[in-house]
Amino acid sequence: MATGRGAAIGVAPHSQSYPHPLSLSASFPSITTFSLSRRHSFSLSSTKEKKPRVNLLLGSAAEPTTTSSPSSSLQNDATFVSDTEFSLAKVSFGVIGLGVGCTLLSYGFGAYFNILPGSEWSALMLTYGFPLAIIGMALKYAELKPVPCLTYSDAQLLRENCATPILKQVRNDVIRYRYGDEQHLEEALKRIFQYGQGGGIQRRNAPKLKMIREEATEEGKYCLALVFEAKALQLSDFEQRQAKFASFFGPGITAEVGKGEEEGLYEVKLISDTTL
């Protein structure tokens, strides 16, 4: 291997600086997990013991060893956290009602014609199976599925103490099944964009919530980012209503508006003013 200023091998523990473009993190436990951080660096981390990272630095000399403060370690913890919490709100009652109703109807008809055992219960199964199937179909028709929620680990630590009650309610409302609503945050968008009113937009051009993202700002504040799809709108349409977003989802928050990663996507970041 060639030597010189072009390549160097060094030990770089956690620090406040961003990792170099090419980093190789090595650890030697019996069980390892593979994680992807939003700073686009790949690392192998141990579930038992953490060891210093061995970085291969290209194009620069090895950095000196530094120690990180508690506040910086909170901001550098930027891995995705999967939502494993079980809640009935995340279960589709339409699927449950339709499944139970169709099962009772199928078995009831089979028992009635002596294809299946339990003919004495066939009338009862048919009596309850039919309305359950109808209710299940109605709920399935009026069902509004939850939107994806991407949560960073540093934001998860801030949510309990820094997120306002309204931000917590918004998050909980959009990640569960709803029934009868045309879209998520329908009442909020109706007031902010003033459908069909002077200075407002047409209802058919209303933005649709595609996903939400929980993250921490550089100042260590909790941020709930709402990602909307609005192909008929411009960034200026959101910028004009930035103050309305802050007032509707306030108090105690600051709203920031910007473009999303793809064409036709716009982000509204609701940043809590509360800090640890």
Stretch 206-212: mean pLDDT: 95
pLDDT of residue 89: 75
Q: At what angle do helices 122-141 and 93-112 cross, to 10 degrees?
A: 150
pLDDT of residue 141: 92
pLDDT of residue 2: 39
Separation of alpha carbons 253 and 86, rounded Å: 29
- pLDDT at 144 exceeding the cut of 70: yes
Higher pLDDT, 89 or 200: 200
- pLDDT at 95 exceeding the cut of 50: yes
pLDDT of residue 81: 77
Q: What's the predicted TM-score (pTM) here?
A: 0.66
pLDDT of residue 251: 93
pLDDT of residue 47: 36
Band of residue 105 on the pLDDT scale cut at 50, 70, 90:
very high
Higher pLDDT, 88 or 226: 226
Query: Any bridge partners for residue 160, and if so which?
Result: none
DSSP state of 185: T
Q: Quick check: 111 and 125 in contact, CB under 8 A?
A: yes
Query: Rounded mean pLDDT of the chain?
Result: 76
Domain ranges of the chain: 7-68, 93-144, 149-272
Band of residue 170 on the pLDDT scale cut at 50, 70, 90:
very high
Q: Taking the CB of residue 265, how many other CB atoms lie within 10 A of it? A: 16
- pLDDT at 194 exceeding the cut of 80: yes
**Strand pairing class (208-216; 222-229):** antiparallel
Stretch 203-214: mean pLDDT: 94
pLDDT of residue 267: 96
49-71: pLDDT as tens digits: 443 443 333 333 334 333 333 33
pLDDT of residue 84: 67
Band of residue 259 on the pLDDT scale cut at 50, 70, 90:
very high
Separation of alpha carbons 16 and 78, rounded Å: 13
% of the chain beyond a pLDDT of 90: 57
Grouping H, G, I as helix, E, B as strand and the rest as coil, residue 228 is: strand
Higher pLDDT, 20 or 105: 105
- The alpha-helical segments, DSSP class H, found in the chain are 70-76, 93-112, 122-141, 153-162, 165-174, 186-193, 235-239, 242-248
Class of the domain covering 149-272: alpha beta
pLDDT of residue 35: 36
pLDDT of residue 158: 93
- pLDDT at 257 exceeding the cut of 80: yes
